[in-house]
Amino acid sequence: DPARVVHLVELAVDFARAHLKPEGALVAKVFHGSGYDELVQLFRANFRVVKPMKPKSSRDKSAENFLVGIGLKPQA
């Protein structure tokens, strides 16, 4: 369920904001489709470096992707 995935990733980002060291990283497995662009924007709003990655081991037809966020941005 895409809505649940989005919610879980939002919770992970909130947890990272509370507990991750400033130079730390968060990796989330996501899927292209509903909510993907929202998650990329969420990562860009919270991390200095955001890298969407598709592992070589993933099938070409798979919507599987990983978002890597590195270095928390200071909270406004």
DSSP annotation string for 2-52 = HHHHHHHHHHHHHHHHHHS-TT-EEEEEEESSTTHHHHHHHHHHHEEEEEE
Catalytic residue among 21, 29, 51, 56: 29
Active site residue 54: no
Q: Report the catalytic residues.
A: 29
